[in-house]
Structure 1
Amino acid sequence: MILIAILLPALSFLLRGMILHAILCLVLQITLIGWLPAAIWAVVSLNNARAERRTDRIVRAMRNSR
């Protein structure tokens, strides 16, 4: 998924269901200069989503252990 985020940032957002982000990213990606920030934004967003899911799993596990 990180490779998709780097090569096709708008597709990365679309696959995760973030349609408005994908449109904005596509507009940014159209220019050659804007492609690099779009790719960085997609990778950072993907890593943040993974970290949030990991945190949610930890919180659920802590609640279930009580």
Structure 2
Amino acid sequence: MIAIAVLIPWLALFMRGRVFQGIICLILQISLIGWIPAAVWALMVVNNDNQERRHQELVASLRNNNSR
């Protein structure tokens, strides 16, 4: 997913369910100067989503252990 975020930032945002942000990112990526900020933005979104998923899994695991 990280490779997609660098090469095709708008697609990485679409795959994460962020359609409106993906459209804005595509518009930004059309200009060559905007490609770098678009790639950084997509990387941040992908990293944040992965971190949120890991956090939710940890919380669920802790809740399961406490209920025993």
The amino acid of 1:55's aligned partner reads H
The alignment's TM-score, normalised by the length of structure 1, stands at 0.95
Query: What's the CA shift for 1:13?
Result: 0.7
User: What is the identity percentage for the equivalent residue pairs of Structure 1 and Structure 2?
Assistant: 48
Q: What are the ranges of 5 or more consecutive residues in structure 1 without an aligned counterpart? A: none
Query: How many residues of Structure 1 are paired with residues of Structure 2 in the alignment?
Result: 66
* Runs of 4+ more than 6 Å apart: none
Residue in 2 aligned with 1:48?
A: 48
Q: What are the ranges of 5 or more consecutive residues in structure 2 without an aligned counterpart? A: none
Aligned Cα RMSD in Å?
0.6
The alignment's TM-score, normalised by the length of structure 2, stands at 0.93
Is residue 29 of structure 1 aligned with residue 29 of structure 2? yes
